[in-house]
Amino acid sequence: MRFRKADFDPCVFIHKTGEVVIAIYVDDILIFYWSVERKNRVSLQLHAEFEMTETGTPNWALGIHLIHNKTGVILSQEAYLKRVLIKYGFDESRPVATPIDNNVHLQKGTEAEKIDDPTIYQSIIGSLIYAVIGTRPDLAYTVTMLSQFSSCPTKAHLAAVHRVLRYLKGTLDWSLFYAKTPSTALIGFSDASYASDIDDRRSFTGHCFMLGEALISWRSYKQRSVATSTTEAEYMALSDTSRQLIWLRNAIHELERKPKLSFILRGDNNCSLSLVKNPVFHKRSKHIDVHFHFVQE
């Protein structure tokens, strides 16, 4: 049908003309098009090959509610999160303002401290992870941090994950908005929390990307090695964020025939930014692994 598999994602197919893009997730298909005539031809070809139902403008995709209005599209998981709260008995709970208590420092539990049924903890974490992937970047760090205790959760860990559910109770209607206005820049924001894991003293990396005023990508994860300074932790975070920036840039170039965007990477640590601009080796940077210097280029 004259489609080719996208280089940035094997489940995205781009028509030779660039006028139709198909995204596939198992048996769910989303068709994006710039030409109604071309889209109608593609639909007829798909119906001829497969048994399928075309529902028109999508209102739901993978459990995410797509709300269309004159100014853009809103992505919401409110209905999904309501079901999660009801399932775990927190639909009538008292909300809290933050997903995690900064005064509580969690550590790995022992077998003696392990709760009787760890599958409850694991099930809640799994439900929260899907929310993070979909529309809730505000939970990315908290859920990532709590997920590392899934093999041996204690009462303290369970209390922490219950707090996340109470936080959701007060923020059910939070959503992502994507405006119809054209974007002029893709901006990546990079940050790190130095040695924040009490057990192994590794740092966490966090990044997000704004396409214009729309948040399109986010992630929080523990770094693979121990950083010996805040500079190193932030520099490692910048390096990983720059890789994601390149992947997103490649995706935009594939999807947009003539993209007019500037690509920007931002960090908040002066020493790491100075190291990027002027890679002079000194006592703070001489031990940093070679592959992290990728960010300089």
State pTM to two decimals.
Answer: 0.89
Report the alpha-carbon angle 37-28-16, nearest 5: 40
Distances in Å between the Cα of 160 and the Cα atoms of 80, 99, 144, 198, 236 are: 21, 8, 13, 16, 28
Contact 188, 245 (CB under 8 A): yes
- Residue 288 DSSP one-character state: S
Encode pLDDT of 194-209 as tens digits: 888 888 899 999 999 9
What is the residue extent of each domain of the chain?
Answer: 3-56, 75-170, 181-296
Question: How does pLDDT run across 238-280, given as a tens digit for each residue?
Answer: 999 999 999 999 999 999 866 688 999 999 988 888 888 876 6
One-letter identity of residue 58: P
Q: Which CATH architecture has domain 181-296?
A: 2-Layer Sandwich (3.30)
| 227 three-state secondary structure | coil
| DSSP result, 7-18 | SS-TTEEEETTS
Nearest by Cα to 173 from 147, 130, 138: 138
What are the pLDDT digits (tens) for 143-163? 999 999 999 999 999 999 999
Token look-up 């539990």 returns 109
Report DSSP state, residue 32.
Answer: E
The 3 state secondary structure assigned to 86-117 is HHCCCCCCCCCCCCCCCCCCCCCCCCCCCCCC
Task: Please write the tens of the pLDDT for every residue from 3-56.
Answer: 999 999 999 999 999 999 999 998 889 999 999 999 999 999 999 999 999 988
